[in-house]
Amino acid sequence: MVTCTPTKKAAIYHLRQEGKTFGEIGNMLSLDQSVVSRNYRKLEEQGPDPDFYARVPIPGRPRVITPHAERRAQRLITSGECRDATDVQRELFPRLDPSTVRRMFIWKGLHGRIRRKKPWLSKKH
């Protein structure tokens, strides 16, 4: 979904008030007419004096682990710096339960396999 800046939202609202069609506004602002109509409808729902900077809160429970932290944790596992989810939890997320970190790895596609230490093989073997 395309997001509009508050400046573009203001332009959409004022151009529509002047009587321009969604297609004309879209051509003027380099946006698709469906984006223009969706943004105008949301602004119209706010009433006669809309707030162009208003943001709708995201529904649901806030995430405990940010996407950036997830990528960092995944990098620790795949690089071998940490052996399992408990190591990652101690390193990056000391306030979280290890099961939360394990669940995050399952969502990322890293299922509970622990990297085993390989025995050292000398030339005699």
- 110-114 average pLDDT score: 70
114 pLDDT tier (thresholds 50, 70, 90): low
pTM over cut 0.85: no
95 pLDDT tier (thresholds 50, 70, 90): very high
At 22-66, the pLDDT tens digits run 999 999 999 999 999 999 999 999 988 999 998 888 899 988 999
- Core vs surface per residue 61-92: b (16+ CB within 10 A) or e: eeeebeeeebeebbebbeeeebebbebbbeeb
Percent of the chain scoring above 90 in pLDDT: 63
Element containing residue 21 per DSSP (H, E): none
